[in-house]
Structure 1
Amino acid sequence: MARLLVLEDESVLARHIKSTLERARHAVDVVETIAGGIHALRSAGYDLLMLERKVTDGDGVRLLDFVRQAKSAIPVMFLTARSGTDERVGMLDRGADDYLCKPFETTELVARVTALLRRPQQLAASTLTAGNIVLDKATRSAMVADKPLVIARREGMLLEQLFARSGQVVTREALDAKLFGFEDGASPNAIEASVYRLRSALSSLGADHQIHTVRGVGYCFAP
């Protein structure tokens, strides 16, 4: 199951997309505005974005720019009535991964989502860099000042989530949703324990970015 964020301000269509993708066993959040989309992206981790171009507070391409400027390789699909070739090429050149014109068949929508979610990780931007830290998303391995960062799988997932939102506050709830499944039975201090171990490992190698605690909210990965 993947977690998807849909930007769509036509309520009937939004409900249809949500129910279609939920039947395909995905978790779906719908927002009607760009502001709502930015808030959702800062609050939770998503596996795919589906964006309308024209919504009440602007152009959905602003969310595409937001995630690409944050060095996130999350797949982005546009769902829009704009069908011109120049329009499609422009969005793909700007960093979108797919473009589906309205009206569309639900079977095609599900098929395209499935294809984007299963694409080889190496096709995405699989390497992230922050200061003297380099993270390989495909293997969740990292180097600090050319030295390997030896961490457990859970801490690797944590580092990826924080890395993708460098300089932004990531809530504990968002990290919990990405690191622990519904049936994992995570203890109340599981996130804190993972942060402590990752923070210690980074410090021991002289990392110039660290995990800062934002009391009562979450964490921020920054110099």
Structure 2
Amino acid sequence: MSSPNDTNDTNDAKDIKKIVETLTTAIISAFPRNVALAAAEAIPKARPNPRVGVSALIQNEKGEFLVGERMGSHGAGTVQTPGGHIDFGEEQLYKVAEREVMEETGLEVTAERILTITNDVFNDEAKHYITTWIICTMKNPDAKPKRMEPKKCMWWAWKSSKELAEMDKAADIRKAEKKAKGEEPDAPAGDELFLPLVNLLKQSVAAEATDLSSFIASTVGLVHVK
């Protein structure tokens, strides 16, 4: 028969094991991708799990999208829409989108519907995200976005679907030219799209939409879980 002390010892061991696994994952994730993946192979439970994010698609009266330049995180220097992580326990994706937009831009929006989901693997950073794209509308169409988190965003601006596609194409051309010369690509500086946005544009092309706006229009009527 086991004693209460035996039970306590077992629980303590489980707690310590969980703490060690969490710390190991955090430490490994801080290293370059080749080191992180090598360690993950040696310690399977230390392999980082995919995280879930939400990105808000907000258009103005001209049909332009609200985007900003990222700072201080993976994808720094790239352009992305407002968004962020789902906090533990948040049950409604729509509320997550509305919260993130308010925190980052100061804009009050209403989340209308889910557009699609992208599977975003950041190979160089050894990060993996599942991004849910949610269409939002501003409660006040005349409101102006603000830099509510100046350490995370360089600027906010309205860009047309065409401008975003051209930015993505120009970045690909620059990278190809650098690769042909055997040179490393320049760090993005507000002239390159964040990977989830790149993948979103790819989805619109795969859907044979002429641009992102028409892709959104083509999905009207589709119903997703909130």
TM-score normalised over the length of structure 2: 0.21
- TM score, norm. by length of structure 1: 0.22
Rg (Cα) greater in structure: 2
